[in-house]
Amino acid sequence: MFWRCRQRTIDLRRPVVMGILNVTPDSFSDGGRFATPGAALDRAAGMVAEGAAIVDVGGESTRPGAQPVDATREIERVVPVIERIAAACDVAVSIDTSKPEVMTAAVEAGACIVNDVRALRAPGARAYAAASGVGVCLMHMQGEPRTMQDEPRYSDVVAEVSAFLVAERRHCIDAGIAAEAIVLDPGIGFGKRLEHNLCLLRELPGLAALGAPLLVGVSRKNFIGRVLGRDLGACLYGGLGLASLAVAFGARVVRTHDVAPTLDAIRMVDVVMRGTNE
């Protein structure tokens, strides 16, 4: 199982970690910490040293209640960071955006993956992804970041998320994006209540069988704190438990703020599941 991302091919026969690098002032857990190119490069290099296969750079917060950022400002935030990472680190760089203009600038700067919470539904996004040969991650989100947690409702969350991901994958393939370039993300925490998140996590084996590798992001999600009765900063172990569960249930990419402990956890699960450390 491989993920084709322009000049790179990422081996997913064993699960890999995508490290989160927010270069925004308002992201929910690390806003402002890596807003300068120098700080961002140091953080990226640290994640690579810890074993990240992918560094996911985001210039617009998608936390609940987040305000939109225009493409020009987003490009100003991400391009200097991506250029530095691409020049200094041997790692796949992903751009976390929904805007085709930002995708274009980021890929020209050295990114090889587009991670889109809106599943490439913006006009021109699929065409650009097809023409550029990037790897893509298609995520499910009900609503928009600013309002997505106001009143999320589903008749059958697993069926609806599955149908959305299958349909968007087909739309992408029809637009010329290679099947081997696509991974799918159920969007844990994006327009979902606690019960929706728990249901999706419980049914990950079915989501992992939809025809494309599965990416799961549970790092520092608010619902972990609600379940455990802890502040957001004290939810690492709960997140590691969910990351391990996700890999046991078939996820091939785990997106996280905490690369080293997450990689240790999922490697142990992978060895047990495969029955060998080879």
- All domains of the chain, ordered by start, with CATH? 2-274 (3.20.20.20)
Q: Any idea which residues carry the catalytic annotation?
A: 221, 255
Least trusted range by pLDDT, from 62-76, 93-107, 171-185, 250-264 = 62-76
Q: For position 148, what pLDDT does the model report?
A: 59
Q: From the CB of residue 71, how many other CB atoms can be counted at a distance below 10 Å?
A: 18
Q: 148-167: string of b/e by CB count within 10 Å (b at 16+)?
A: bbeebebeebbeebbebbee
* Residue 242 pLDDT > 80: yes
- H-run or E-run covering 244: helix 236-248
Percentage of the chain lying above the pLDDT 90 cut:
83
**Phi, psi values for residue 194, rounded to 5°:** -55, -50
* Residue 51 pLDDT > 60: yes
Average pLDDT value for the chain:
93
